[in-house]
Chain A
Amino acid sequence: MGPDGAPGPSVPWQKVLWERQPFPDNYVDQRFLEELRRNEGIRQYRYWTVVKEAGFVGQQLSCVAIFISLWLYMEQGLLSPETLLWSSLVCALLGYGLYQSLSSQVESGCEPRTRLADLQSAAIFLSFTFGFSPVLKTLTESVSTDTVYAMSAIMLLAHLVSFPYTHPSPPGSLSLNAALFASVCLASRLPGALHTFAMLSCALMVFALWPCLLQRVRDIAPTHFTGVCLGVCVGGVGGLGLQSPGGAVLLALALGSVTLLCPLLLVRLQRHKDNIQGPWDEAEIHEDLDHGRGT
């Protein structure tokens, strides 16, 4: 019954405004909210599933850390460019073999890239990087080191923020470009052209090729995926720990919060979700209200 206690005539109340009815304006009856639906299609997350999915974020963070620590090694001369080149070549070959073997198990829906196309892409990468490395070496000579560091940090952050974690293959344009820009900035601070070349190849592997491989691993072998993520995280923390223990602690804390704390929060806060839906159009308030009135 309505708040005004209007007399109940025999005419049933209708939920329309365009007809004159023998009820007060603010009258509603029991049927008013019966079509309201709450939290429709809500997914009940389970903690460990969320943690497993968050492992991808953690491992990307670790990848950035690994790249930075590699650069630190290179800059201090602890790692020679030849070593890095050879090891990354070996890694690339191993990864390529793994990628191919995994893809052979998957049904080949869309036409797969041929070996020749892969070889062509690799040749383009290597030749361009090698050709441009002297230029890149002198590129940021006159720019102050702090500026370069700041730019790299911003770009790496942009890479992490804009990374398409659900479908990392093919990598998103902005994330990859930001990462490459940062790596060019960092690589140009290294002492020699060969260092630059090695660093850029390494960046290409870490930021462009590794997410593709990992995506495939996640699709094919989810159990191994967790292990790989864990391994990358440990590698990142360990690699950084050798250079700067403080950084490693920070990274470990970040990894812990991203992979353990944030899923916990998500699962906890899921209970407070209150999302109402119904067969009505939601009111949209346009910003150009004045403009609409004017015309």
Chain B
Amino acid sequence: MVLKIFFPQCCNRADSGLLVGRWISGHDSAVVLAVIHYPFIPGQVKQYIQQMQAQSGVELSVLGSWSLPKEGQEGMESFLRDLSTIFPQERWLQIKRQMGKTGFTCEILNRDQSGKAAQQDSIKKKKKVKIEEDYQHDDSDNKKQQEKKKEKIEEDDQHDDSDNKKKQEKKKEEEEGEEEEKVIFVHYEQRKVMLSQLHPIENGVPDPKTEPPSELRQVFQTVARSQPLFFLDRYDDGPLKSTHWQSEGREASIIMELLKQASVPLCLLISWLLSVWTWICNVRIFSLYPLRFLSSKLSTCVQLSYRTEHLRTLSSAKPATGHTEFMRKSNILVSFLIDVALGLLLISWLYRDDHIRMLANTLVPAADHVAKELEELLQWLMGAPAGLKMNRALDQVLGRFFLYHIHLWISYIHLMSPFIEGILWYGGLSACLGLTFALSLLSDMVALLTFHIYCFYVYGARLYCLKIYGLSSLWRLFRGKKWNVLRQRVDSCSYDLDQLFIGTLLFTILLFLLPTTALYYLVFTLLRLGVVLFQGILHLSVDFINSFPLFAMGLRICRSYRLGGISHFHIVHHTIFVQQMSFKVTLKQRRSSTISFCLQCIKLHREVNVL
């Protein structure tokens, strides 16, 4: 049987004292949560542990003793051994460490069935375990370790090459050759394991009927739930002192606390505004056909409804129920803030130095220029474009039709030109709702300003479609076939003489006019494609700002252990025969459902070399 001890890294240098933690039910392993320092009064310790147990709901207990003798504390060891009578346990761990030496010594005192716990020396299986210690990163105090690392077999699990801070667990064990019981010592970083939320607490209520959850899951849950234990820090005046990740003082930010206080009335205000806005939107006038159609086509309206939905999600009174929803909400919030910040930047540029007027003054000539270019294009098409021989009469007709359209368009633009500056001025204000609004508005304005191109495209496409349809139908007539609608196939058919005559006449005409129409269609489709591409880029950037998971990115960079991912283990000693053992751990990851990944823990089978 292998005993696993999950030991927090922060306790490596703790003063001697008691190990507080939990035996994990169903598995032969223990989690050490904190070290209570000597001196203490056992009664107070018991009381404190009961109190903590009541607050956190975790079955806390004293696991054993911890000794790291400093100068003048040589007699500590026997005292700590005697403590096992005061805190009766099935097994009593005795972990020792020598100052200046790397490695731990662990003794396990098994309590006898008859209750003779005090007689330890001969009856108990005594375990002498030398534990190699490995600081996985940024631990510079141990130079020996650096040398040893070179000899280490590094065994990573399937896909971890990026994140090495996930769960800092290392299993290592060195054991004297003939011993039958082994101890695996796993270092974990308490802060990251606690904050990772990889195994949400609400799922952690154990169901006695089903089989107990996996070991790692229990470890994570135990650490995450025993948060009250970590509130005791060195500045407390209580009778007990303990070492854990927060023993140097708790992290807190005044700004965060203020924001938490302020968020409630802010949410209330926003939801009230939203309800007013929703009421306005639901007025019957807006649900009439043309308005609804227009609002579904205008990207500003679409963006508005999108943002409304976002704000509704954000300002809802219910807290986020799961990790996924929490991530979604925070992503929305961060993207909204970024959006507004970018919009304010845009506003500050627009309204400085009269940029609006400049824009308005360039817009009308630009539209004129586009119209002029279009006119030249049409003139070119009406000639012999690219040496193509088009039907002159049809060419002239189409060209004049489109020229008249452009003429109409120019007069419309000139009619509008006095108001353009005002429109831009008020439109620019929309940027204070966010850069996405400004971009959507720009997209809509581009759509309106290139309406003539859209019209050309529609005319050309309709004409071309009609022509192709007629030609395909008449080609069947030409071959003496017809389309059978009922059977969905082409049947042969005998036509009348006059049908044949008129059909052939039309076929000839359409066939000879086809190149002209096709050319017009092609040119206007290309123009339209350009406009669509521009609008597509605008929409793409709007969508990018709307839905890019910035918060998750930031979390990934700054606190990557909060996101489900990977973990890896380092084997410390190269002489160790390695056998792999896999744990299935389900992790809740951002947005995705549970994924399962294999944590490969390494069980050290046998060790030959004794340190």
Contact = CB atoms under 8 A, between A and B. Distances in A.
A135 B509 contact: yes
Given A138-B391, A181-B507, A174 B512 contact: no
B401 interface: no
Contacts of B479: 173-174, 177
B508 A181 contact: yes
Interface residues of A, number: 28
Contacts, number: 82
A170 B389 contact: no
Contact of A125 (B477, B498, B503, B512): B498
Question: For chain B, which range describes its interface: under 10, 10 to 19, 20 to 34, or 35 or more residues?
Answer: 20 to 34
Given A138-B391, A143-B512, A170-B497, A132 B504 contact: no
B386 interface: no
A136 interface: yes
A63 interface: no
Nearest to A143: B389
Contact of B504 (A121, A140, A180): A180
Contacts of A198: none
A140 B498 CA distance: 24
Interface string B485-523: 000000000111110111111011100110000000000
Interface in A168-191: 170-174, 176-177, 180-181, 184-185
A266 B392 CA distance: 53
B393 interface: yes
A82 interface: no
B498 A139 contact: no
Contact of B497 (A121, A129, A185): A121
A124 B513 CA distance: 23
A172 B479 CA distance: 9
B502 A128 contact: yes
A138 B392 contact: yes
B499 to A, nearest CB: 9
A291 B389 CA distance: 48
Nearest to B492: A173
Given A141-B391, A172-B480, A177-B504, A136 B498 contact: no
Given A135-B509, A173-B495, A125 B501 contact: yes
B497 A139 contact: no
B477 A141 contact: no
B390 interface: yes
A24 B348 CA distance: 107
A174 B478 contact: yes
Contact of A138 (B393, B500, B505, B508): B393
A180 to B, nearest CB: 4
Residue from the set A141, A174, A180, A181 with the largest chain B CB neighbour count within 10 Å: A180
A177 B500 contact: yes
A204 interface: yes
Interface string A199-242: 00000100010000000000000000000000000000000000
Grouping DSSP codes into helix (H, G, I), strand (E, B) and loop, the B interface class, with mixed when no group exceeds half, is helix
A138 B389 CA distance: 13
Nearest to A208: B497
Nearest to B388: A142
A173 B391 contact: no
A170 B498 CA distance: 12
B505 A184 contact: yes
- Most chain A CB atoms below 10 A, which of B500, B502, B507, B513: B500
A139 B512 CA distance: 6
A172 B480 CA distance: 8
A184 B508 contact: yes
A173 B494 contact: yes
B389 A142 contact: yes
Interface in B353-407: 389-393
Given A124-B498, A125-B501, A143-B512, A174 B391 contact: no
Contacts of B478: 173-174, 177, 181
A190 to B, nearest CB: 15
Contacts of B504: 176-177, 180-181, 184
A184 B478 CA distance: 14
Nearest to B513: A139
Interface in A227-282: none
B480 A204 contact: no
Contacts of B498: 121, 124-125
B512 to A, nearest CB: 5
Contacts of A128: 501-502, 505
B500 A176 contact: yes
Contacts of A121: 496-498
Contacts of A142: 389-392
Interface string A142-182: 11100000000000000000000000001111101100110
A121 B501 CA distance: 10
Contacts of A129: 505
B501 A208 contact: yes
A204 B500 CA distance: 11
A11 to B, nearest CB: 56
Contact of B480 (A138, A173, A181, A184): A173
B180 to A, nearest CB: 64
7 contacts: A121-B497, A124-B501, A125-B501, A135-B393, A170-B494, A176-B497, A181-B478
